[in-house]
Amino acid sequence: MNIHKKIMMEQKANSLSRAVQYLLLLFLLFAGLYFSAGILMPIALAGIMAMLFLPLSRWLEKKGINRTVGAVICVLLLLLVIGLMIFLFSWRVSNLQANLDQMEQQANKYIGQLQQLINDRFGVSKEQQDAMLKKQGSSGAGNVATYIASFAAGFLGSLTTGILVLIYIFLFINSRKHFKNFILKLVKKEHQAKTNTIIEEASGVAQNYVSGLAKMIVCLWVMYGIGFSIVGVQNAFFFAILCGTLEIIPFVGNLTGTSLTVLMAVAQGGGSTMVISVLITYGLVQFIQSYILQPLVVGKDVDVNPFFTIMVLVLGDTLWGIGGMVLSIPLLGMLKIVFDHIEPLKPYGYLIGNGDEKKPDKPLTTKIKSWFKK
């Protein structure tokens, strides 16, 4: 009996020791991801973008174009798209500046009403409020040089990161065979076929997610533009582009864009009717996006449980900020592909996904009819 108890105690001690080791490994992993964000995030972003351009690169190679030249063409095409986006935003912002005087008048009107409310409720006169604001402004005036230096440092840092991402994209596309062979050399020969399948499927998930997201953003531009124009929001297409583009950050982005649009509606003098109309437009667009656009355009390639979608967004924001939120969904989808193909990890792939029940595809009209049935 003593020997049996001793064995049981040793087994419990070993189990506890393994659990502590796993927790320590997990902590070190997340700590490493957090402190190496400046190195790993550009590489991860470049990897996802390189996967998006793989079909174009392969098509160019089939046409007899050298792989290096094809990689350069892909990078130049990406620069062209970014340039067009910047031009479009700057054009709309220049139009937005024409209404700044009207917005300033409305803002001053609401500030005056707020000051009067504070005076009525708390007994703080308008002069006292102005003095407090002036004191706050004077204390911050000496830090203008610091703010400018901080902005310049941030801008240069973003520019450097952007250049690094472009270089990484070129290297990933141009040297993709080298990296793939390296991964295959890490596994035994009998597992190389499965490893190759994992690489192809993970790459396909990233391609389909990013390309589908781009198509959906264009559709959102059109829908938001029409809706905000009908509502009467000034510079409706600017805010449509803003709301649609922020969709790259799931959940958070579209809420941020819509909140800014509501603020614009209030600043331009729109009453509660315009605000409610903006919110109704947002709700209708989100309904169409979730039940029509998402299944048709993006598809179910990133088949991830909503709970883990939100959790990985929070984790991505904690580790890598906004870039982590943008990358979290495709990276989790790729991780699920890996889990689904490795036997000991299949339960985790099942946990991350939506279960093993596959619903047969139905025509769009049938789906719409089903929404109105009990």
Q: Domain ranges in the chain?
A: 38-119+159-175, 204-300, 302-356
Query: What is the Cβ-side half-sphere exposure of residue 344, based on CA atoms within 13 angstroms?
Result: 0
Question: What sign for the dihedral angle of Cα 160, 51, 315, 24?
Answer: negative
Return phi, psi of residue 108, to 5°. Answer: -65, -35
Return phi, psi of residue 357, to 5°. Answer: -85, 120
**Highest-pLDDT range among 16-25, 108-117, 187-196:** 187-196
Nearest CA to 67 out of 58, 75, 55 is that of: 58
Region 334-346: mean pLDDT is 85
pLDDT of residue 27: 86
The better pLDDT of the pair 219, 370 is held by 219
The better pLDDT of the pair 135, 60 is held by 60
Helix (H, G, I), strand (E, B) or coil at 355: coil
Q: Which two tokens stand for residue 158?
A: 């973003």
In tens, the pLDDT along 270-322 reads 677 888 888 888 888 888 877 777 666 555 556 677 788 888 888 888 888 88
Q: Which two tokens stand for residue 129?
A: 């409020």
Q: Which two tokens stand for residue 305?
A: 């449980």
What value does the mean pLDDT of the chain take?
A: 77
306-341 and 192-231 are packed helices; what angle lies between their axes, rounded to 10 degrees? 160
Query: Residue 113 pLDDT > 90, yes or no?
Result: no
User: Cα angle at 328 between 325 and 331, to 5 degrees?
Assistant: 155
Question: What is the residue whose two structure tokens read 């002069």?
Answer: 127
